[in-house]
Chain A
């Protein structure tokens, strides 16, 4: 028995750790979708840019300053993207905004390619997180243990924010009915900016955890984690924060079990199988609200 655990614990640990990192990205998707009904395809790339900023910042600054700088820069980037690329299209058809998101994603990836010269950038070691730790016979990095704990703390804080504060109430109101809440005097732009601030903050934290585990940043680093986090958001019911988190952990763990079973070719495809199954069986996800089409 103990042999079975020590043989299989690493898969579970890796799964929980990467699941927590997906969860932090997924919240950005689910909150933006809840309020703007927009799949923010650029979110995964914002996550990648956060990684690159860390590489550059840590080269010349002490690590503590660099961490703060990464968070601030990522938040600014997210808000600027919203202002420049999404706000002007707010009254345009939904497809146009989605195309704009794809355009931003393309732009960020190409800028990253230009600045890195196409070479993988080695992520700096963050002390403590990079230390080794042994659990149940399995050696791993500290970040594996820290990720799920930190994720749960941040989610708890976020849910409290949404449920108990004024801005949280405004967010809930806007996601229920955009026009009416505007009529009721809610400052829509402020709420939307706040959504991007929260989403990008979590993506920045997620990027530090993720890249400490997998310390190489390339321009397409954000694409797959982004897509998986998005699937997690859909799986949990898009617009629902707890749903996104549960979806992310399920995807992270399943993906690693599949690799353990030797079906490595399908480790990415499995995520999409899960997506299609959930869309067909329960299109609104596990915790999603029933949407009614208005004629």
Chain B
């Protein structure tokens, strides 16, 4: 997934690109099999949601990294933009006949249509669900982006920690706003939105067979989105972002329009946070404003730090590791048992203690995270491998270059 485009196309570069494409292809074949062919057992039952959630948080982390790592804007508003994305998605995809049940305290709400359903009538249910979901996800991103643009006008004038607390404050205001009964006909007040199109509804009909795309779909959206961010980071805009991060005053002196570029980074990051929020809504099957609180932003920030601020592949790896550890691998710490022995201090909540200690260790002793600001790429691996071989052949030394 981590393709880093260098300007000169060395042979390693080409080989790396081919390898990366091959790896992606293998991954998607595996995911497709996971959704359709592999047997359901205790392993796959845990694997599927971990992969889905991992992909979602990978996207959200990368979007936060674009802002914090590449543009140097310390924003803590991510949960707020995810909230907007999740709500926009859900509001437009609740089936018409479910409106009365979902908006039971608000006379069925004011939006009486469902995009996946309308498309379903024209394209067939399955295709309608896919296209409709994608459209609703994009709507989620756009609404988040619009809010970001409005919030950005005043907030982006602030610097470092003041920016952080102002964005954090806006996220909290948004959360209260979405819980307000006055908007109940749109947002269902503080109550759950549910019954909308979720990952389980995403299937495709090919030659008389129906294939599930539960895991393929979030991966596809996440891969495309992350790909767009990678292209952006490597473009001239990306270089402008990085120059703002490294030295604002020097960047301005070089003729970079600070406000324009900051705004651009802020809006794009929020757009993808909104997309991530929409995917999270699909994953959770119900959505409500209450959980999108500051601690969610903190968690995303910690993932970014673990991966390395300024590394896209780092963020992706960290997101998957974080989700898998917290949802799956470390669960045994809560079970009261270890290797069939009863351990009294392994009780509820111990997992989280261990987890937060690991995080503190990373923050304090490995503050560069897994990847630092480097990227993991096949081309880089090939190059390293070649260099090592060459060195060995040349000098016969066994000293590790690092």
10 chain-A/chain-B pairs, Cβ below 8 angstroms: A94-B160, A95-B74, A95-B309, A98-B164, A102-B301, A106-B356, A114-B353, A268-B172, A269-B177, A279-B165
Interface pair B302/A102, CB less than 8 Å apart: yes
How close is A44's CB to chain B, nearest CB, in angstroms? 11
What is the CA–CA distance of A249 and B25 in the complex, to the nearest angstrom? Answer: 60
Interface of B is mostly: helix
Contacts of A96 in B (CB 8 A): 363, 367
Partner of B349, one of A106, A114, A223: A114
Task: Say yes or no: is A132 at the interface (Cβ < 8 Å to chain B).
Answer: no
Interface pair B169/A118, CB less than 8 Å apart: no
Which B residue sits closest to A41, measured CB to CB?
A: B298
Task: Say yes or no: is A275 at the interface (Cβ < 8 Å to chain B).
Answer: yes
What is the CA–CA distance of A220 and B60 in the complex, to the nearest angstrom? Answer: 25
Given contacts A113-B349, A114-B352, 17 further A-B contacts (CB under 8 A): A89-B367, A100-B360, A102-B298, A102-B301, A102-B302, A103-B302, A103-B356, A106-B295, A107-B356, A107-B357, A118-B349, A234-B165, A265-B176, A265-B180, A269-B173, A275-B165, A295-B249
Contacts of B264 in A (CB 8 A): none
What is the CA–CA distance of A78 and B353 in the complex, to the nearest angstrom? Answer: 19
Contact with B along A85-116 (1 / 0, CB 8 A): 10011001011101110111111001101100
Contact with B along A262-295 (1 / 0, CB 8 A): 0001101101110110011001000000000101
Interface pair B166/A275, CB less than 8 Å apart: yes
Task: Say yes or no: is A46 at the interface (Cβ < 8 Å to chain B).
Answer: no
Task: Say yes or no: is B327 at the interface (Cβ < 8 Å to chain A).
Answer: no
Which A residue sits closest to B350, measured CB to CB?
A: A114
Interface pair B161/A266, CB less than 8 Å apart: no
Contacts of A279 in B (CB 8 A): 158, 162, 165-166
Task: Say yes or no: is A230 at the interface (Cβ < 8 Å to chain B).
Answer: yes
Interface pair A276/B154, CB less than 8 Å apart: yes
Task: Say yes or no: is A117 at the interface (Cβ < 8 Å to chain B).
Answer: yes
Interface pair B158/A117, CB less than 8 Å apart: no
Contacts of B177 in A (CB 8 A): 269
Contacts of A229 in B (CB 8 A): none
Interface pair A88/B364, CB less than 8 Å apart: yes
What is the CA–CA distance of A51 and B357 in the complex, to the nearest angstrom? Answer: 22
Task: Say yes or no: is B202 at the interface (Cβ < 8 Å to chain A).
Answer: no
Instruction: Known A106-B298, A266-B176, A276-B169; judge A100-B349 contact (CB<8 A).
Output: no
Contacts of A105 in B (CB 8 A): 298
How close is A232's CB to chain B, nearest CB, in angstroms? 12
Task: Say yes or no: is B332 at the interface (Cβ < 8 Å to chain A).
Answer: no
Which 10 residue pairs spanning A and B have beta carbons closest together? A272-B169, A269-B176, A114-B349, A110-B352, A107-B356, A113-B349, A269-B173, A110-B356, A103-B363, A275-B169
Contacts of A99 in B (CB 8 A): 301-302, 305, 363
How close is A238's CB to chain B, nearest CB, in angstroms? 9
On chain B, the number of residues with a Cβ less than 8 Å from chain A's Cβ atoms is 47
On chain A, the number of residues with a Cβ less than 8 Å from chain B's Cβ atoms is 44
Task: Say yes or no: is A231 at the interface (Cβ < 8 Å to chain B).
Answer: yes
Interface pair A106/B359, CB less than 8 Å apart: yes
Which A residue sits closest to B334, measured CB to CB?
A: A114
Task: Say yes or no: is B107 at the interface (Cβ < 8 Å to chain A).
Answer: no
Task: Say yes or no: is A25 at the interface (Cβ < 8 Å to chain B).
Answer: no
CB under 8 Å from chain A, chain B span 165-187: 165-166, 168-170, 172-173, 175-177, 179-181
Task: Say yes or no: is A227 at the interface (Cβ < 8 Å to chain B).
Answer: yes
Partner of B360, one of A95, A104, A231: A104
Which A residue sits closest to B359, measured CB to CB?
A: A103
Task: Say yes or no: is A23 at the interface (Cβ < 8 Å to chain B).
Answer: no
Task: Say yes or no: is A50 at the interface (Cβ < 8 Å to chain B).
Answer: no
Task: Say yes or no: is B97 at the interface (Cβ < 8 Å to chain A).
Answer: no
Interface pair B355/A110, CB less than 8 Å apart: yes
Interface pair A110/B172, CB less than 8 Å apart: no
Task: Say yes or no: is B294 at the interface (Cβ < 8 Å to chain A).
Answer: yes
Contacts of B357 in A (CB 8 A): 107
Contacts of B364 in A (CB 8 A): 84-85, 88-89, 100
Interface pair B170/A94, CB less than 8 Å apart: no
What is the CA–CA distance of A295 and B253 in the complex, to the nearest angstrom? Answer: 12
Interface pair A280/B154, CB less than 8 Å apart: yes
Task: Say yes or no: is A39 at the interface (Cβ < 8 Å to chain B).
Answer: yes
CB under 8 Å from chain B, chain A span 208-264: 223, 227, 230-231, 234
